[in-house]
Chain A
């Protein structure tokens, strides 16, 4: 039996963009359905099995942020927001409203493909009931990870910026606290590829992250090494709406 293609719902008020995006996603192995506004979006969600929504922020009537929030209130539907750079607050709000990721217009279509695949992979790596509800701040062991600004905040309020790799790794560890994740899983979730033999990339990432978290790499207390298995975040994670 042929595997069902993932179905993407595109919500954008610009007809040309809707058409071009649908074509592009269609050519790249997705089923694409387009909606012009919130009303059409809800109709499409009722009629079709949708795997991910690509949601433009600027929409007539109901704006993308509100739609994203309403969508999240009802389901675990993954959402990728399309925003305009320059509206920093919109981006942050998008994350707070529960978007999984965001992309700035004009975007590279291949980047859009990569992000869609990455979100689908990430959401599927976790059993549905473990899907974390969205929250801007993930707090653990005296630290808070601000997922909108992508930085780590210490108890004393000092902001510790993270590289893209560090952020992705920490995000995955925080989504799976107290669960041992092996190198293959981590590599798959972070890089979207299988770990190669003797692949040390993850170990290097972990040691960097420990440094950021001031976790002693010889006797780590936060990110522990499980010999022969992988790594585990030994802390409870609390989700908060703000990092203040």
Chain B
């Protein structure tokens, strides 16, 4: 799971999506904040208006009543947040000068009503925070002061759940659109990566389609040109080497026939074995070159039968190759390439370590074929390099068995061709273990 998240956050798609998501989220927050402020202003203004209405109403009612009946009227007026009380002249708030609220009340009641704002009641229309009270002292026509105030004025009401839900849905919809757009924008990159991968395995892979936005088209064109150049280079090199190797065949055939004329049996055998070695080098060189441009068709192969047949063919030559384990189902690959790779591994194992064991380990994801010998193995510092073309270990260079230094390169190329790899390891018990790892697709 952790791997998954890492892989996800590493992808360009995830990064772009995340950046866009965070940007959108921040924009939503800012707009929410602005809306909140605006709303508080409107609410406060409405409350102020309401307060003025109530004050005007109360003053008119009280003035229309006999002083003796004002107590009852006051009780009737005190609904909602409005509190009304008679105050003495000594309790009246000091004059703080003209305030908007005074103006509004005077405009409705007439200028003869003196209005004073109580305490630090904020200005009209300003957002009210906390339980700030609104209050005014008004002098009735008969000189009686009345204090009218809104008690416990609350904050602007909280945002409703519905609004938040609406915002969330909007965010989600925009997010989906963004994901689709980003996916669309990064797709050409993925196609490019896939094409590069395919080209690594198959030189004859079809060129990329030239489509999409300008940048994508240009990248695809550049990629196709590169593919073309690499292919031409490899083809030319292969052709040159192949023709040299090929041309050696005729003189070698003549030489091989002439050796049969040599009377000295020992000398004849030596000549023959030298010529065989030269022929084998040509074969392996051509095999290697062909391996690079292998266009062999892919087919389902009975791996068990393949290894059994190779083991039996080795037995005819007096060599023992034991096969352990089984492939559980046919493997889809290139038969003669695989046969060549396995033959090289088995030949190597026979050359360097007498007893050869082939182990097949099969699974849903990959097929592993290990060839183990009991030879001296390969020095650890050389393990990484032995599969390089024309690289030969000291042991191989000095031995009479020779070799071209291409055997393992062919195996590695065949493994790559199948999307797998060649793993080389010295066994704890001694000897080399060469594993062909072949993913099942």
Q: Which residues of A are at the interface with B, using a C-beta cutoff of 8 A?
A: 14, 16-17, 20-21, 23-24, 27, 84-86, 88, 105-109, 149, 151-152, 156-166, 208, 212
Contact = CB atoms under 8 A, between A and B. Distances in A.
Interface stretch (B62-70, B188-196, B303-311): B303-311
The DSSP consensus for interface residues of chain B is helix
User: Which interface class (under 10, 10 to 19, 20 to 34, 35 or more) fits B?
Assistant: 35 or more
A109 B272 CA distance: 10
A107 B256 contact: yes
Interface in B83-126: none
A182 to B, nearest CB: 23
Interface in B199-233: none
Contacts of B308: 163, 208
Interface in B228-270: 242, 245-246, 249-250, 252-258, 260-261
A20 B257 contact: yes
A156 B300 CA distance: 9
B286 A86 contact: yes
Contact of A161 (B249, B258, B309): B309
A208 B315 CA distance: 14
A88 B336 contact: yes
B268 to A, nearest CB: 11
The DSSP consensus for interface residues of chain A is mixed
Given A84-B249, A85-B283, 12 more contacts: A14-B254, A106-B275, A158-B300, A158-B302, A159-B299, A159-B302, A161-B335, A161-B339, A163-B309, A164-B316, A165-B316, A212-B305
B292 interface: no
A86 B250 contact: no
Contacts of A85: 283, 286
Contacts, number: 92
Contacts of A152: 305
A105 B302 contact: no
Contacts of A86: 242, 245-246, 286-287, 290
25 contacts: A14-B254, A84-B249, A86-B242, A86-B287, A88-B336, A105-B252, A106-B249, A106-B256, A107-B253, A107-B256, A109-B260, A149-B336, A157-B299, A159-B301, A161-B310, A162-B309, A163-B308, A163-B309, A163-B310, A163-B312, A163-B313, A163-B316, A164-B316, A166-B309, A208-B308
